[in-house]
Amino acid sequence: MHIAIFYGSYRQDRNGIAYAEYLAGAFRQGGDDVDLVDAKQVDLPMLDRMYKEYEKGKAPPAMEQVATIIRNADGFVFVAGEYNWGVQPGLKNLTDHFLEEWFWRPAAIASYSAGPFAGMRAMMHWRAILGEMGMVVTSSPLALGGVHKAFNKTGAPVGSDGERLERNFPKFADDLRWWAEAAKAQRSRQAPPY
């Protein structure tokens, strides 16, 4: 499968980037093609014009690049940090620049926080957001508490949080791959209804 992973923190000391990189590596190790899209690196402005509102070929290059990644993906992973019981503004801003590009493919949510709730409150918001944006959200989220201590300096999972992550990743990945395969097969048989 071709999996696109989206990460959205703009903070100076970003603990979640190790999580996003771990997920990219774990999917690659499972044989998937992976694009990791870092909202801070892409650095789109606050939403003014959506991708679809530009004339063909006139969108900013970074926006065009992300649109291509989205269109080519079989499934998506949203690495969703929790900010004040809500979603990260950087990730939300990135996703809002696109709409139809997301349609008819599955999304999985990998939530995180420093605390024991592991970003689950943000995950609940993302389920509604992604569904509204035309994606089927898988039923197996991957929640990581203690993100700041779950990886060593080389990015390998460590401690009880890291062990739990490695134990739960296979089910998370298999769920997303199953839905991605099903959606891909259906799209090959029949065009989406809109």
Which residue stretches of the chain have pLDDT < 70?
A: none
Three-state DSSP state, 4:
strand
Is 121 a member of any domain?
A: yes
Over the stretch 163-173, which tens digit does the pLDDT of each residue have? 999 999 999 99
Task: Transcribe 34-52 into DSSP letters.
Answer: EEEEEHHHH-PPSSSS-GG
pLDDT for res 117: 87
Q: How many domains does the chain have?
A: 1
Is 194 a member of any domain?
A: no
Is 137 a member of any domain?
A: yes
Domain that holds residue 155: 2-189
pTM metric for this prediction: 0.96
Is 139 a member of any domain?
A: yes
Please name which of 101, 120, 98 lies closest in space to residue 109, comparing C-alpha atoms: 120
pLDDT for res 114: 87
pLDDT for res 124: 95
For residue 81, the number of C-alpha atoms closer than 13 Å in the C-beta half-sphere is 24
Is 153 a member of any domain?
A: yes
Is 24 a member of any domain?
A: yes
Question: How are the residues of the chain apportioned to helix, strand and coil, as percentages rounded to the nearest 5?
Answer: 45, 20, 35
Over the stretch 22-40, which tens digit does the pLDDT of each residue have? 999 999 999 999 999 999 9
CATH number at 6 reads 3.40.50.360
pLDDT for res 193: 86
pLDDT for res 84: 86
Could you tell me where the beta strands, DSSP code E, fall in 118-181?
136-137, 142-144
